[in-house]
């Protein structure tokens, strides 16, 4: 039995959910939320903190500071509490209330950015605030999840090898994109593996990670309002952009079958199921990474008033789809809003926007 003395010493790394019975397509969902931080961000947080300690950047007098939409902030709060550091999380008004309260319960300070810059959005405003803090007092240590290579190294050393061990015949891997730490770590690992693995990145409509037009995004987690410095698109074969309404529908469908996952997981599952439907991918071994669980989204993704106020009265009014075609919303739309020609394997799935195939 596992016996630990520090909360970051435990992470369940071998739990998968086969979504065949729920969505009609076989997809193994790697559940990364079963640790004391509740998300995959524990891996990156631990790697970044321990590297900073080894290099002498982080000392007992240091004050950790980080910009986060939520999950990394919780992970750093937990680690800081365990190791005896002060921690200040700089977030914004989209951060879930339960996430803020959790960080404060762990002894961290939370600063909420109310406004946003014209170009950088909330993220730009958060980063500016962190930089000003660091310039004002050299005790502040910013690990910078957006530029820190230990973000992706954490997944190169853990997440990807875990998947490779459990699925030696892996054909396609679906990974959500935010800072792109998980994406880059896994993509780099499988580029060096013994067989080709197709890497499909899932992002939110309104995110500019892969060059899309900036737009409103209300669900924290995936997506960014700036291009992530860690991203190297040469490692990504395809990109699918997912509408937030489809993220919500995927979350609620999973919940109706007893699995309460977070918004990031809903985006990944929605885009992955669209890809599997369109590519008639039966027989492929497909894995998707579920970054989070759903408890922190009870006042947003799972709250009827919040949903209807932002997405309309009918956001959840759809029929349970037949196996093999998971969503009942219209066929995928182009950025101009016009539907593309019917493609082989397209069965009227969700409104995911597929960007170009990037494999050469």
279-282: long-range pairs with CB below 8 Å, 24+: 279/345, 280/344, 280/345, 281/25, 281/172, 281/345, 282/25, 282/26
pLDDT tens, position by position, 27-48: 999 999 999 999 999 999 999 9
Structure-token pair, residue 223: 């997506």
| Residue-level pLDDT at 124 | 86
Structure-token pair, residue 187: 């993509």
CATH topology of domain 7-31+157-354: Rossmann fold (3.40.50)
Query: Residue 46: is it exposed, middle or buried by C-beta count within 10 angstroms (0-12/13-18/19+)?
Result: buried
| Residue-level pLDDT at 334 | 28
202, 177 Cβ separation under 8 angstroms: yes
| Residue-level pLDDT at 147 | 96
Q: Do domains 7-31+157-354 and 41-142 have the same CATH topology?
A: yes
CA 15 – CA 326 distance, rounded (Å): 23
Q: What is the DSSP letter of 209?
A: T
Name the CATH code of domain 41-142 (choices 3.40.50.1100, 3.40.30.10, 1.10.1660.10, 3.40.50.2300). 3.40.50.1100
Domain boundaries, the chain: 7-31+157-354, 41-142
CA 195 – CA 182 distance, rounded (Å): 20
Structure-token pair, residue 101: 């309260």
The helix, strand and coil proportions of the chain, stated in percent and rounded to the nearest 5, come to 35, 15, 50
| Residue-level pLDDT at 116 | 58
Structure-token pair, residue 153: 């190294």
b/e sequence 117-156, b meaning 16+ C-beta within 10 Å: eeebbbbbbbbebbeebbeeeeebbbbbbbebbbbbbbbb
Helix (H, G, I), strand (E, B) or coil at 113: strand
Ranges of residues in the chain with a pLDDT under 70 are 115-120, 318-360
| Residue-level pLDDT at 319 | 52
Cα-based distances in Å from 245 to 177, 268, 284, 328: 18, 13, 28, 12
């Amino acid at each position: 039995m596992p016996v630990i003395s520090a909360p970051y010493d435990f992470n369940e790394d071998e739990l998968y959910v086969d979504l065949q019975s729920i969505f009609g397509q076989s997809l193994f969902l790697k559940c990364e939320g079963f640790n004391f931080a509740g998300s995959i961000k524990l891996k990156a947080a631990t790697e970044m903190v321990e590297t900073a300690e080894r290099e002498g950047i982080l000392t007992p007098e240091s004050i950790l500071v980080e910009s986060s939409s939520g999950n990394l902030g919780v992970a750093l709060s937990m680690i800081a509490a365990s190791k005896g550091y002060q921690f200040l999380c700089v977030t914004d008004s989209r951060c879930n209330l339960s996430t803020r309260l959790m960080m404060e319960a762990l002894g961290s300070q939370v600063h909420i950015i109310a406004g946003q810059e014209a170009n950088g959005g909330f993220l730009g405003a958060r980063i500016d605030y962190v930089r000003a803090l660091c310039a004002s007092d050299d005790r502040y240590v910013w690990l910078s999840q957006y530029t820190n290579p230990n973000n992706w190294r954490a997944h190169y050393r853990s997440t990807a090898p875990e998947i490779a061990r459990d699925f030696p015949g892996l054909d396609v891997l679906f990974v959500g994109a935010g800072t792109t730490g998980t994406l880059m770590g896994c993509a780099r690992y499988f580029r060096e593996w013994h067989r080709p693995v197709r890497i499909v990145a899932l992002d939110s409509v309104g995110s500019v990670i892969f060059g899309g037009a900036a737009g409103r995004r209300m669900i924290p987690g995936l997506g960014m309002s700036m291009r992530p410095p860690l991203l190297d698109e040469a490692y990504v074969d395809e990109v699918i952009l997912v509408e937030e309404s489809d993220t919500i529908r995927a979350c609620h469908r999973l919940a109706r079958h007893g699995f309460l996952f977070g918004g990031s997981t809903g985006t990944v599952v929605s885009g992955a199921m669209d890809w599997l439907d369109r590519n008639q991918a039966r027989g492929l071994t497909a894995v998707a990474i579920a970054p989070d669980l759903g408890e922190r989204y009870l006042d947003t993704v799972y709250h009827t008033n919040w949903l209807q106020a932002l997405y309309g009265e009918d956001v959840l009014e759809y029929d349970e789809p037949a196996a093999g075609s998971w969503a009942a919303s219209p066929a995928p739309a182009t950025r101009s809003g016009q539907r593309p020609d019917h493609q082989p394997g397209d069965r009227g799935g969700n409104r995911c926007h597929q960007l170009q195939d990037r494999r050469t």
